Amino acid sequence: MLSTFFAVLRRDLLLAWRGRADVLVTLAFFIIVVCLFPFGVGAEPNQLRAIAPGVLWVAALLACLLSLHRLFAQDYVDGTLEQLLLSREPAALWVTAKVLAFWLSTGLPVVAVAPAMALLLDLEQGGLPVLVISLMLGTPILALLGAVGAALTLGLRGGGMLLALLVLPLFVPVLIFGAGAVEAELSGSGAAAHLLLLGGGLAGALALAPVACAAALRISTD
């Protein structure tokens, strides 16, 4: 089973590297969204500092949403997805590998760039570690929940719009706890409760989302 997991993970990472233009577009989208906010709300430092956690989390959420449609699309078109579903390996196993590859190629670069964008918004340096930790816990949840939505809308006309409608309500709690962790740390009340909730959410998503995603893929390919 582990050999299958790592084979799918390696394959998807290799495909992501070959199509790295898509990865760069996602990263550029995140940077542009963050940079646009000072033009819209003004460049007053105190105001930017107050909205920085929410801005960064909203930008990360939208960047994830932008790239979700290609999580299974290419495999669906070339028939690879059907072959994987017909294999004897548990579908949840290779689905987890694909989601992990997706997060490593899209979510992790966003997490890496986020501290620089936080400094651009004049976020206090004391909040940077919590920001990174919250994104490390929260963006995998976005990827796992988004994978279920991507599987349900696979092959549908106008699937991108439907995907957004399906997953955005599920993303809201992650956004609240992620941005709230940074704000709580900066206010002095501590971010432990928010981070524990994100950790619990990640554990629950890891346990349930791959199974739900595999079932949705079987429905979409029938």
pLDDT value of residue 78: 82
Number of domains in the chain: 1
Going by pLDDT thresholds of 50, 70 and 90, the confidence category of residue 55 is: very high
Which residues does 137 contact at the CB level (< 8 Å), separation at least 6?
A: 178, 195, 198, 199, 201, 202
Domain hosting 198: range is 1-220
Q: How far from the centroid of its chain's Cα atoms is residue 3's Cα? A: 25
H helices of 42-106, where?
A: 45-67, 73-78, 80-86, 91-102
pLDDT value of residue 155: 76
Distance CA 142, CA 147 (A): 8
Distance CA 124, CA 108 (A): 22
- Which of 161, 158, 167, 173 is CA-nearest to residue 216? 167
Tokens at 100, concatenated: 């992990």
pLDDT value of residue 123: 87
Going by pLDDT thresholds of 50, 70 and 90, the confidence category of residue 81 is: confident
**pTM as predicted:** 0.91
pLDDT value of residue 176: 94
Segment 44-69 mean pLDDT: 89
Q: Which residue has the higher pLDDT, 155 or 6?
A: 6
pLDDT value of residue 34: 92
DSSP 2-52: HHHHHHHHHHHHHHHHHTHHHHHHHHHHHHHHHHHHHHHH---HHHHHHHH
pLDDT tens sequence across 116-169: 999 988 888 888 999 999 999 999 999 999 999 999 888 777 677 888 888 999
Instruction: Answer whether residue 35 shows pLDDT above 80.
Output: yes
- Which of 88, 102, 188 is CA-nearest to residue 145? 102
pLDDT value of residue 126: 85
* In the chain, % of residues over pLDDT 70: 99
Tokens at 116, concatenated: 């620089």
Q: Which residue has the higher pLDDT, 74 or 168?
A: 168
Distance CA 174, CA 165 (A): 16
